[in-house]
Amino acid sequence: MRSSMRSSGRATIRRRLARWIGAGRREPIAEPLWRRVVTELPLYDGLTGDDVARLRDLTGRFLAEKRFFGAHDLEVTDYMRLVVAAQACRLALRLGYEYLRACRTIILYPEGFVAERESLDEDGILHTGYEELDGEAMYGGAVVLAWEEARPWRGDDDAFVGNVVLHEFAHKIDELTGDHNGLPPLRRGMSVRTWSSAFSTAYDDLCAAVDAEEETPIDEYAAADPAEFFSVSVETFFLAPRLLEWAYPEVYACLAEFFDEDPAHIEEGA
Ligand SMILES: [Zn+2]
């Protein structure tokens, strides 16, 4: 990945100090800007007033603690920071803010960016290539996002569209166990065996559908590996919960317990 970001050692120490001093602080969010973002984000549709107030508090904390940088001369505005923070914090509404701790830095590109990729072929020869990305969660590092894809967007009718912010921050939650493998640190009382069984069965089912060139119930990118399956499932859980519950009910049940939310049944009062 290439970026125009530069930082000296002294600046790094200053930032760490500022983060330490700022721990627990909230960045004030201007009321009109907050109202605009809440209205624009489909992710905030249907939430109660209490939930939105809680998310505003989490978002203020996120903005006070995380650093944003623009790449390719992108000037990062307060609106852009707020849009990203409000979406990332949606994951933490009941899960808890601490689950966002693996990300301290967000890098915004104006649009899709190119990342270098290395792969070994069958003969053990290393190949270097390039891939255009909308987002990337760098292991142990920053979340990188294309602003063009991270900005609020509403599709036609209720058609499911992905959400790159949820996707990449789901990877950072997954990372808290030390690896991107689709198994985040589960909440107290949750069963790793139940989780692994639900996700591996659904993953195998999706891969079989892809191999058979059948239509897949969720984005077929989830078949790339178990970590991608987890991140795509999280996107689907928040934006098309009934679809996920219909396609993979055991996965839906695990995510409902993990996030302590039941978005497929909100309107039914369940
Ligand atoms: Zn991914």
The answer to whether 200 and 167 have CB atoms below 8 angstroms apart is no
Q: Where in the chain is CATH 3.40.390.10?
A: 181-270
Each residue's pLDDT tens digit, 157-182: 556 678 999 999 999 999 999 989 99
Res. 32: pLDDT tops 90: yes
Query: Is the domain defined by 181-270 classed in CATH 3.10.180.10?
Result: no
Q: How far is the CA of 26 from the centre of ligand 1 (A)?
A: 29
Res. 79: pLDDT tops 90: yes
How does DSSP assign 69-87, residue by residue? EESTT----HHHHHHHHHH
How does DSSP assign 169-230, residue by residue? HHHHHHGGGTS-SS---PPTT--HHHHHHHHHHHHHHHHHHHHTTPPPSS-GGGGG-HHHHH
Instruction: Kindly report whether the global pTM for this prediction surpasses the value 0.95.
Output: no
Cβ neighbours around 79 below 10 Å, total:
14
The answer to whether 103 and 142 have CB atoms below 8 angstroms apart is yes
Q: How far is the CA of 166 from the centre of ligand 1 (A)?
A: 10
Q: How far is the CA of 164 from the centre of ligand 1 (A)?
A: 8
Q: How far is the CA of 93 from the centre of ligand 1 (A)?
A: 21
Q: Where in the chain is CATH 1.10.472.150?
A: 1-155
1-155: which CATH topology? Cyclin A; domain 1 (1.10.472)
Q: What is the largest CA-CA distance in the chain?
A: 59
Q: How far is the CA of 37 from the centre of ligand 1 (A)?
A: 25
Q: What is the mean pLDDT of residues 231-241?
A: 96
Q: How far is the CA of 114 from the centre of ligand 1 (A)?
A: 15
Residue predicted with more confidence, 86 or 6:
86
